């Protein structure tokens, strides 16, 4: 083995360049964003409407999910089977998804069918039928989904954590209840749609390989006189961080599912990019401090990870891990140890440099596929960031110093400010948790 050569120096990573996107605003006000990309003869279309779960009132939790299911049930002269067959003929499946602030209708089809798919998407948002005959079945499906979610520890942890962070604000709602769902009506779905869907805050993203002129022609034609309303979201006001401990009981669970975190600056704030880098160093990558500690040293867990989640006007940081039940308290201790250490002593410049390269390089990777590019453009749109923000992102990342990281940790990642949610066997874990405050049992 002595003949094995020394490691080669890695080359210099070329600066990031944003893939070229062409933007057109149609007469109706709809923006069409075209990004020719990729090497596979497929096209990816996403029609993003500017409303989602945050537009529900407290008695409507998951109504927009029912709406998203309902959109596949018929439009114009097409019933549910015809929609499925039409998109199937192009080689695709229609997906309709909803999150807090958007409803997205998407499909990927063979490249030559891009204009046809534009027409189907237009029909769905312009002439949805919401047939009364399908309501009972869609509600039964939704009740089973709710029941399934309540049996999954990760869903319970997320539900309890969001509830503790955002309280009565729509961002705090994650799981609905059977009582609410059973009262949903077709009229309520239609009112939600008509009150919030429209071209002014909608975007049509087209990426992959396709005929740009043909797609634009089809969009101009199909969306020409589309009218409608717009979604609106009021971000949560005056959120505060505090140490509190919430438990969701899951008797005899072999693991405790942890969510530990707090409110942090959202993407519009100056500290957001430094926070993203700090997160990657702390728990957001495989070679991060918390992961090296509780996985690679202690073996407490398989998939620990920290993330920064953002909404328009709000964001939170969370460390998540499923840990063996008998090391629940020990895991929290180690997680807080790593968080505190980041604020109390500066990272080495070598460690920081490595993580800067990681974040900058992965920004290039995230723009390497048609789907990834749309994700990134959607992120900019959602947070009202301009192209310059994306273009300068890697420069911002690479300019950070070890002092910046320490300041971010001290200012935004104080362990004493963090909420702790644990889904697990309360009788087995309670004793070790006394040091983290009075536990409150919750039922998300």
Partner 1 sequence: MSAFQLEIPVDQYSLDNGLRVVLSPDTSAPVILVGVYYHVGMRLEPRGRTGFAHLFEHLMFQGSEHLAKMELVQRVQQNGGTLNGSTRLDFTNYFEVLPKHTLDLVLWMEADRMRGPVISDAELDNQRDVVKNEIRVNVLNQPYGGFPWIDMAERAYSNWHNAHNGYGDMVDLDAATLEDARRFFETYYSPSNAVLVVVGDFDPVAARAVVSQYFEGIPATPPPEAPDVSEPDWHEERRFTKDDPLATQPAIAISYQTPKRNDLEYFAMGLIDQALLQGDDSMLHQELVNHRGITGSIGGGINFLGNMFNAQDPLLWTASMIYDEKFEVDAVLDAFDDALEPLRKKPLDTATFERTVTKARSAFYDLLTSTVYPGFGRADLLASFALIDGDAARINAIDQQFSAITPKLVQTVARNYLRPDGRTVLSINPTSESVALDDGNAKS
Q: In whole angstroms, what is the distance from residue 50 CA to residue 66 CA? A: 17
Of the candidate spans 132-140, 216-224, 309-317, 385-393, the one that interacts with partner 1 by CB under 8 A turns out to be 132-140
Q: By the 8 A CB rule, do 392 and 15 touch?
A: no
Nearer to partner 1 among residue 61 and residue 314 (C-beta)? 61
Q: In whole angstroms, what is the distance from residue 184 CA to residue 181 CA? A: 5
Which of 26, 32, 35, 37 binds partner 1 (CB under 8 A)? It is 37
Q: In whole angstroms, what is the distance from residue 336 CA to residue 443 CA? A: 25
CB of residue 227 vs partner 1: minimum separation in angstroms?
29
Which of 131, 195, 235, 372 binds partner 1 (CB under 8 A)? It is 372
Is there binding between residue 172 and partner 1 (CB under 8 A)? no
CB of residue 257 vs partner 1: minimum separation in angstroms?
8
Q: In whole angstroms, what is the distance from residue 438 CA to residue 434 CA? A: 7
CB of residue 41 vs partner 1: minimum separation in angstroms?
4
Nearer to partner 1 among residue 112 and residue 271 (C-beta)? 112
Find tokens 């499923």 and name the residue: 322
Of the candidate spans 35-43, 57-65, 231-239, 400-408, the one that interacts with partner 1 by CB under 8 A turns out to be 35-43
Pick out residues in 241-300 that bind partner 1 (CB under 8 A).
253-255, 257, 285-287, 292, 295-300
Q: In whole angstroms, what is the distance from residue 43 CA to residue 35 CA? A: 10
**3-state SS assignment for residue 257:** strand
CB of residue 195 vs partner 1: minimum separation in angstroms?
26
Beta carbons within 8 Å of 362's beta carbon, 6+ residues apart? none
Q: In whole angstroms, what is the distance from residue 187 CA to residue 170 CA? A: 22
Q: In whole angstroms, what is the distance from residue 235 CA to residue 62 CA? A: 19
Strand intervals (E) in 50-131: 74-75, 78-79, 95-98, 103-110
Nearer to partner 1 among residue 28 and residue 285 (C-beta)? 285
Pick out residues in 302-361 that bind partner 1 (CB under 8 A).
302-303, 322-324, 353-355, 357-358, 360-361
Which of 116, 131, 145, 230 binds partner 1 (CB under 8 A)? It is 145
Of the candidate spans 115-123, 146-154, 332-340, 341-349, the one that interacts with partner 1 by CB under 8 A turns out to be 146-154
Residue window 377-416: x/- pattern of binding to partner 1, with contact defined by CB under 8 A = ----------------------------------------
Q: By the 8 A CB rule, do 107 and 117 touch?
A: yes
Is there binding between residue 131 and partner 1 (CB under 8 A)? no
Q: By the 8 A CB rule, do 444 and 247 touch?
A: no
Nearer to partner 1 among residue 52 and residue 370 (C-beta)? 370
Is there binding between residue 34 and partner 1 (CB under 8 A)? no
Pick out residues in 292-311 that bind partner 1 (CB under 8 A).
292, 295-303
438 burial level (CB within 10 Å; 0-12, 13-18, 19+):
exposed
Which of 71, 75, 90, 409 binds partner 1 (CB under 8 A)? It is 90
CB of residue 83 vs partner 1: minimum separation in angstroms?
8
Is there binding between residue 371 and partner 1 (CB under 8 A)? yes
Pick out residues in 95-124 that bind partner 1 (CB under 8 A).
108-112
Strand intervals (E) in 118-243: 203-208
Which of 146, 233, 262, 409 binds partner 1 (CB under 8 A)? It is 146
CA distances in angstroms from 356 to 279, 350, 376, 404, listed in the order given: 11, 10, 19, 12
Is there binding between residue 11 and partner 1 (CB under 8 A)? yes
Q: In whole angstroms, what is the distance from residue 48 CA to residue 202 CA? A: 5
Phi, psi of 346 (to 5 degrees): -70, 150
Which of 21, 84, 385, 428 binds partner 1 (CB under 8 A)? It is 84
Q: Which helix H or strand E contains 226, and what residues bound it?
A: none
Which of 18, 21, 143, 230 binds partner 1 (CB under 8 A)? It is 143
Is there binding between residue 427 and partner 1 (CB under 8 A)? no
Nearer to partner 1 among residue 241 and residue 249 (C-beta)? 249
Is there binding between residue 367 and partner 1 (CB under 8 A)? yes
**3-state SS assignment for residue 159:** helix
Q: By the 8 A CB rule, do 24 and 98 touch?
A: no
For residue 93, which of 78, 109, 80 has the smallest C-alpha distance?
109
């Amino acid at each position: 083995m002595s003949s094995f050569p020394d490691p080669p120096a890695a080359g210099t990573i070329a600066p990031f360049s944003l893939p070229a996107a062409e933007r057109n605003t149609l007469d109706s006000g709809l923006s069409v964003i075209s990004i020719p990309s990729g090497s596979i003869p497929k096209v990816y279309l996403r029609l993003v409407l500017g409303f989602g779960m945050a537009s529900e009132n407290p008695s409507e939790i998951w109504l927009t999910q029912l709406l998203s299911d309902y959109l596949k049930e018929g439009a114009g002269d097409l019933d549910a089977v015809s929609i499925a067959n039409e998109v199937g003929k192009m080689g695709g499946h229609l997906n309709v998804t909803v999150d807090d602030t958007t409803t997205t209708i998407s499909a990927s089809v063979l490249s030559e069918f891009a204009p046809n798919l534009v027409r189907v998407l237009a029909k769905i948002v312009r002439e949805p039928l919401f047939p009364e005959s399908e309501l009972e079945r869609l509600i039964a499906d939704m009740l089973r989904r709710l029941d399934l979610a309540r049996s999954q520890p990760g869903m319970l942890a997320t539900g309890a954590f969001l509830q503790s962070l955002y309280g009565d604000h729509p961002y705090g709602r994650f799981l609905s209840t059977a009582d609410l769902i059973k009262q949903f009506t077709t009229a309520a779905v239609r009112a939600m749609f008509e009150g919030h869907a429209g071209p002014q805050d909608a975007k049509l993203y087209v990426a992959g390989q396709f005929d740009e002129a043909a797609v634009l022609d089809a969009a101009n034609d199909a969306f020409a006189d589309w009218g409608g309303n717009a979604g609106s979201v009021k971000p949560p006001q005056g959120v505060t961080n505090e140490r509190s401990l919430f438990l969701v009981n899951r008797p005899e669970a072999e693991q405790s599912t942890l969510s530990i975190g707090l409110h942090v600056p959202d993407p519009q704030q100056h500290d957001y990019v430094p926070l993203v880098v700090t997160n990657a160093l702390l728990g957001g990558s495989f070679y991060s401090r918390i992961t090296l500690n509780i996985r690679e040293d202690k073996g407490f867990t398989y998939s620990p990870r920290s993330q920064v989640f953002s909404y328009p006007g709000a964001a939170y940081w969370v460390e998540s891990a499923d840990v063996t039940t008998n090391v629940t308290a020990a895991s929290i201790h180690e997680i807080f140890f790593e968080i505190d250490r980041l604020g109390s002593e500066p990272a080495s410049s070598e460690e920081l440099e490595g993580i800067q390269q990681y974040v900058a390089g992965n920004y290039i990777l995230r723009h390497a596929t048609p789907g990834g590019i749309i994700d990134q453009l959607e992120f900019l749109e959602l947070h009202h960031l301009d192209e310059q923000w994306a273009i300068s992102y890697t420069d911002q990342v690479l300019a950070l110093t070890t002092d910046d990281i320490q300041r971010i940790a001290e200012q935004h990642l104080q362990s004493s400010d963090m909420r702790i949610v644990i889904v697990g066997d309360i009788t087995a874990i309670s004793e070790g948790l006394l040091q983290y405050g009075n536990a409150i049992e919750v039922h998300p």
